[in-house]
Amino acid sequence: MLQAKTVLFVCTGNTCRSFMAETIGRHYLKRWGREKYLLIRSAGTDTQAGRPASCFARMVMKKLGMELFEHQTTCLSPQLAEEADLILCMTQGHLARVRQYIPAGCDRIYSLKGYALGLNESTAGQTLDIPDPFGLSEESYRLCARELENYVPSALERFMEKLNLF
């Protein structure tokens, strides 16, 4: 039996972007019938453990028809980073932070947008950051969710193709 691989989404507080990415990822894996192959997790670089997801993040995910789960924030740790088979970060700052934890693991740490598009981080010529909606309007969360819906499924497909699972 094939052991599930772990995909870790990383943002700052683990209440908005990485939570929404995790929710979208779980949704698509279930839709594709591939949930037994990948374990989707999320964490924040600067957060306190045990906080709920943002109200707007939950509301937007629910309006998109995504199945919600009982989310509590998780702090990014060297152990969590080390256990992940693929780490997808929301910004270049998050990318640098994760690389501090596991410098030898750079071949599995990417920006979400860069990985989904198959771009090299250093030569992309465009910003690969996903803007943070924290503290902004519901519309900002909707725009963020729309952007995540463009990149999360593509990134998961790319990873599963690499593993010959899709």
Residues marked as catalytic: 11, 17, 132
- Give 75's DSSP letter: B
User: Rounded to an integer, what is the distance from CA 10 to the centroid of its chain?
Assistant: 6
Cβ distance 110 to 95 under 8 Å? yes
Which residue has tokens 């690969």? Answer: 128
d(CA 90, CA 88): 7
Query: What Rg do the C-alpha atoms of the chain give, in angstroms?
Result: 15
Residues in the chain: 166
